[in-house]
Chains A and B, each alone.
Chain A
């Protein structure tokens, strides 16, 4: 499968970045240049997270510290903006003159990716949030892809090559 994936010329790479699960922007940029494909950096501000942060007793338990911290919406939004900016800067620094774009989507990852896929550029390589760009790819036909399946593929963290119908 991997060898077949290498033979296919990718039209666009959709690299998803999400808070706490950012793929290495440099590795993504390197892959884009190597594959000579346009890159779309998609920073997903998870709607669920924002809703959660707006709750009066919202708090998070730190993965590394195991400590409980109160969350508030403004702080989370500020954090997300900062993370998006730093991802953007890292991509800009790594890509140079390569064709690329960057956007911030406030939606669920599946909705954000579905919207990007709808713009064309098939075949597209989707790198889910936190995914390793160099890991083995799954190949899926766009015709076989419903919303549930897309959500499952994104949760699996492996890159997915979506072929035109």
Chain B
């Protein structure tokens, strides 16, 4: 910096510079009811274009991430675009799960034309009913009974004649065949062959005769045993015949019914294949139709049910689904279980759809943070998007922690566009750390937080307000109320030349103004109602602000608002508590002495200062060493502190105040305590813009007003922040009356002159002299130290 250049003295800003008012007289309507509502999203042209592109681009990976802070209408704008596009699209196909006759644990997915799934389900239910009746009737028929009896009789006759044949052969040997409790036996006949020989008679026979009988009986027993071995085979043959008979009878009953259904779905090969399998299965399981018996999961006819997973009857256009609770099951679907005899069982009818099923063929909107905080939901979503199919797996299956018998339903092809809605940091975090993210979410939809406030934009914003009023069914606003709302939104944007497009705060303000208008029995919301709503919002949140101010007023926290003092400057800090931010003054002090050229940041040393604050303090060292005693070492030891600050300090907006305190200490120039300072500084001494300028000014103003406005009080702000000024009416009014002032400064020199009343050139000269003195004294110490060793000399 040119040391010879004289700073331009800073002057107090004009009241008109402190707040950009909206002139209600220029709004050409009586109430907002006359205005055509603006349904779009003003100021979101970039986001709207990105949405238009992303929504229309149906290629792999072109999913969207709508990023921006909460409350800026991301959901509504996204849904608005999606619904508009979805209306132009055809409704997607219906999907059902049916029993897989080949692999029962892998239910089959059936695709049907849009809206036809419920009819198919009803047709199958009717088919089962008809089959039950038809099969039962067929099995009750005389033909079936006669043929069944014939087979049974044939078997009985075959067995009987075989046994009788052996009996006849035995009889020829004078041996009788006897029926016993569990089978048959052989015994010698009596003399007249009318029955079995008495045991006494048998005992009287010669031993040879007895032995002959025993041998003959043994041979017959063996023969009978061999015959009995053949009987299960004969029974099986008879059973096969009966089974064939059953199939024949069932086929006759089933064919016409299934063929009728088949012809109704002639154009759907998958359905036809399924019906063919149903026919085969009914032939095998005809008994189930005759005695349906059990209910629940064990019901034998349940296998012919149709589980309509997703259907679109009565809808037009593609689906647009917003899933508010996107956990793993809600995204990919789930397989439920029911308790049966103490065990958990499931089947294909217990498969439930997820958001991906519902949105398939259309659009799915999810909150990014919710997806990421639900266990395995993000992985499941990515897997589905990558593979382009929905594979329903329960979390238990995926983790392998549940051994209950479960299903592996056939995956369903996926054609969906996913829109994630989230904050910017989340987008950048995912982009940086998740390699799949960039591949799957190629379209960023970046939402603005404000819109320009040109001459025509107040009118446009009035229409936006009219739209909100209409949607929320509120009382209309008069021009004065609209002007107040616009000013409030400019304040929310923190810029006199911009308007916040945070819809949440706008709608909240309109609702609350409507409430106060209702309380006052107003038909139209007026300026006073809006003012009251704003005041009530602040009053609900400002307990801490009041408590802090009370501490200052009662002297617990030391802040001077009059007089002058060396090395003491009023800095300003902003406290953000939830949605409410307010400014509060803090005393910043500096101490200097001869030292090693170091500026000590006490906040940092005590670990109460953040890195940006530390950076600001280090810049001060740079400023001092680059400006003063350039040919000598900087032999200064200085310390800086935020007095009575017990929480953390972050940001560099106090760095100019710290520099003023430091210069004041070095130049021994008292600083006016009626002024407060905000602004960061660079190594050249330029004052740079900071945030929260309105809150900071108002914070100091509130304290001064409480103690009494003297006319000498004011705040120094960076010149670059003048465009951000949207101060409260009372501040502007005080400034207009000359009771309070806001000064825009561009350089440290301007600030020092205002604070000390001493010309900057003189301040710099005093600082230069002080630092030179420090350097000389430091040199003197060094010389003295060089001549005289600090070690005691040894005697020779």
A interface with B by C-beta (< 8 Å): 19-21, 46-49, 51-69, 71, 76, 79-80, 83
Contacts and interface: CB of A to CB of B under 8 A. Distances in A.
Contacts of B264: none
A109 B600 CA distance: 125
Contacts of B182: 20, 60, 62-64, 69
Contacts of B181: 19-20, 60, 76, 79-80, 83
B204 to A, nearest CB: 13
B195 A51 contact: yes
Given A55-B187, A60-B185, A83-B181, 9 more contacts: A19-B179, A52-B185, A55-B188, A55-B202, A61-B221, A63-B182, A63-B183, A64-B182, A76-B180
A57 B203 CA distance: 12
B197 interface: yes
Contact of B178 (A49, A56, A57, A64): A49
Nearest to B199: A54
Given A58-B187, A66-B228, A71-B185, A49 B180 contact: yes
Which of A57, A58, A71 is packed against the most chain B CB atoms within 10 Å? A57
Given A63-B228, A66-B225, A55 B199 contact: yes
Q: Which of A47, A56, A66 gathers most chain B CB within 10 Å?
A: A66
Closest 8 pairs between A and B when the two form their complex, measured CB to CB? A66-B228, A60-B180, A19-B181, A54-B199, A60-B185, A63-B183, A52-B187, A62-B183
18 contacts: A20-B182, A20-B183, A47-B195, A51-B199, A52-B176, A54-B198, A54-B199, A58-B187, A60-B181, A62-B182, A62-B183, A64-B183, A66-B231, A69-B182, A71-B180, A71-B185, A76-B181, A80-B181
A54 B213 CA distance: 15
A51 B228 contact: no
A20 B199 CA distance: 23
Contacts of B420: none
Contact of B196 (A20, A51, A57, A83): A51
Contacts of B796: none
Task: Pick the most buried of B178, B197, B217: most chain A CB atoms within 10 A of its CB.
Answer: B178
A61 B179 contact: no
B196 A48 contact: yes
Contacts of B226: 66
Contact of B199 (A47, A56, A76): A56
Interface residues of B, number: 27
A54 B178 CA distance: 13
A58 B185 contact: yes
A80 B199 CA distance: 20
B184 A56 contact: no
Contacts of B176: 48, 52
Contacts of B178: 48-49, 52
Interface in B134-182: 176, 178-182
A64 B159 CA distance: 12
B582 to A, nearest CB: 92
B198 A61 contact: no
- The B contact surface, by secondary structure, is mixed
A49 B197 contact: no
B185 A61 contact: yes
B24 interface: no
B237 interface: no
B229 interface: yes
B229 A66 contact: yes
- Which of B188, B214, B224, B229 has the largest number of chain A CB atoms within 10 A? B224
B142 to A, nearest CB: 14
Interface in B215-243: 217, 221, 224-226, 228-229, 231
A148 to B, nearest CB: 12
Contact of A57 (B179, B214, B225): B214
A80 B180 CA distance: 10
A77 B338 CA distance: 54
Contacts, number: 90
Contacts of A21: 179
A59 B221 contact: yes
Contacts of B185: 52, 58-61, 71
B35 to A, nearest CB: 89
Interface in B676-693: none
Contacts of A62: 182-183, 228
B202 A56 contact: yes
B228 A61 contact: yes
B221 to A, nearest CB: 5
A49 B180 CA distance: 7
B481 to A, nearest CB: 91
Contacts of A53: 180
Contacts of B224: 61
A62 B185 CA distance: 9
A76 B187 CA distance: 15
A55 B196 contact: yes
Contacts of B225: 61, 66-68
Contacts of A48: 176, 178, 195-196
A55 B197 contact: yes
Contacts of B180: 19-20, 49, 52-53, 60, 71, 76
B186 to A, nearest CB: 8
A70 to B, nearest CB: 10
A77 to B, nearest CB: 11
A68 B187 contact: no
A56 B211 CA distance: 11
Contacts of B195: 47-48, 51
Residue picked from B179, B221, B225, most chain A C-beta under 10 Å:
B179
Contacts of B213: 57
A154 B188 CA distance: 24
Given A57-B214, A60-B185, A63-B184, A68 B221 contact: yes
Contacts of A68: 221, 225
A118 B87 CA distance: 95
Contacts of A59: 185, 217, 221
Contacts of B217: 57, 59
Contacts of B199: 51, 54-56
Nearest to A67: B225
Which of B181, B198, B217 has the largest number of chain A CB atoms within 10 A? B181
A60 B186 CA distance: 8
Contacts of A64: 182-183, 228
A56 B199 CA distance: 8
Interface in B334-370: none
A46 to B, nearest CB: 8
Contacts of A80: 181
Nearest to A54: B199
A61 B196 contact: no
> Which of A52, A58, A59, A76 has most chain B Cβ within 10 Å?
A52
A155 to B, nearest CB: 11
A21 B184 CA distance: 12
A153 B202 CA distance: 32
B183 A51 contact: no
Nearest to A57: B214
B355 to A, nearest CB: 59
B155 to A, nearest CB: 14
Contacts of A66: 225-226, 228-229, 231
A57 to B, nearest CB: 5
Contacts of A58: 185, 187
Contacts of A63: 182-184, 228, 231
Contacts of B188: 55
A58 B188 CA distance: 10
A3 B203 CA distance: 55
A75 to B, nearest CB: 10
Contacts of B231: 63, 66
Contacts of B214: 57
A51 B213 CA distance: 16
Which of A57, A60, A61 has the most CB atoms of chain B within a 10 A radius of its CB?
A61
Given A58-B187, A59-B185, A60-B184, A49 B179 contact: yes
A160 to B, nearest CB: 19
